[in-house]
């Protein structure tokens, strides 16, 4: 049984069809990337998966249970957690305190939440910044705090919304290695991403959206050679 199973998902906003008949499965241990041009429906799909809105039709099943109609915090408690494209850290709180906000979902005792948070901060490369206020970090640091808070909830599946956006090349390389470590720790990943380097380095499989519909799906090396994907998103420089 797939960890995530989406069938015939459609989302309408008035007369606008943002997602149309999308079906996908994600197995435990997989890394799936979702790409496409701006306005393709990626954010709508992402927000539907984590409960920010209900689909107009279709089904979403996580670990064998329907998530349709559940609030985001209920879905998070099931083990399906997401990060935001723009970090939403609590600027006046320390890195450790921000991480403990997530850890308290599984560890109500503060001592246990602190211990779990310290382990997570090691994983994301911030053990030496745990007492620094989040507002004092650069973009890369704040994205790691966002990642740490999500990981502290101990998810089975983590959805990452443009986690590499705004990072320089060295920061992208460092982030890629952090994500490898997270995956190696047993977390299934879905990555919505424009930075193709991250997609090519990490993804087992890529799903491509355009105008709200899935136009291609397959391994990264096949996707970058797909004429429909080149035409809709990648551009002529990827022609082979």
- The pLDDT > 70 percentage for the chain reads 98
Q: Report the alpha-carbon distance of residue 192 to residue 173 in Å, rounded.
A: 17
Q: Residue 239 pLDDT > 50, yes or no?
A: no
Of 3-17, 78-92, 128-142, which gets the smallest average pLDDT?
A: 78-92
For 188-215, write each residue's pLDDT tens digit: 999 999 899 999 999 999 999 999 999 9
Give the predicted TM-score (pTM) of the model: 0.92
Reading the block at residue 18, the tokens are 């943002």
Of 100-104, 154-158, 163-167, which gets the smallest average pLDDT?
A: 163-167
Q: Residue 88 pLDDT > 90, yes or no?
A: no
Q: Report the alpha-carbon distance of residue 151 to residue 120 in Å, rounded.
A: 7
Q: Residue 234 pLDDT > 90, yes or no?
A: no
- Answer for the pair 191, 33: CB distance below 8 angstroms, yes or no: yes
Query: How confident is the prediction for the chain on average, in pLDDT?
Result: 94
């Amino acid at each position: 049984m797939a960890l995530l199973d989406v069938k015939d998902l459609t989302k309408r906003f008035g007369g606008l069809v943002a997602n149309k008949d999308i079906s996908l499965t994600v197995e435990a241990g997989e890394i799936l990337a979702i790409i496409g041009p701006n306005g393709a429906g990626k954010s709508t799909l992402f927000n539907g998966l984590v409960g920010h809105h209900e689909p107009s039709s279709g089904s979403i099943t996580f670990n064998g249970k329907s998530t349709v109609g559940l609030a985001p915090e209920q879905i998070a408690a099931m083990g399906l957690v997401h990060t935001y494209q723009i970090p939403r850290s609590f600027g006046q709180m320390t890195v450790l305190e921000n991480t403990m906000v997530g850890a308290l979902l599984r560890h109500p005792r503060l001592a246990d939440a602190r211990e779990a948070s310290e382990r997570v901060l090691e994983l994301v490369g911030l053990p030496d910044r745990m007492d620094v206020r989040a507002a004092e970090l650069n973009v890369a640091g704040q994205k790691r705090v966002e990642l740490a808070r999500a990981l502290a909830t101990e998810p089975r599946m983590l959805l990452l919304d443009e986690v590499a956006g705004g990072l320089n090349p060295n920061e992208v390389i460092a982030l890629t290695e952090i994500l490898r470590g997270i995956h190696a720790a047993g977390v299934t990943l879905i990555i919505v991403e424009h930075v193709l380097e991250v997609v090519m380095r990490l993804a087992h499989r890529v799903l491509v959206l355009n105008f709200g519909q899935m136009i291609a799906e397959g391994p990264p090396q096949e996707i970058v050679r797909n004429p429909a994907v080149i035409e809709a998103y990648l551009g002529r420089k990827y022609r082979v």
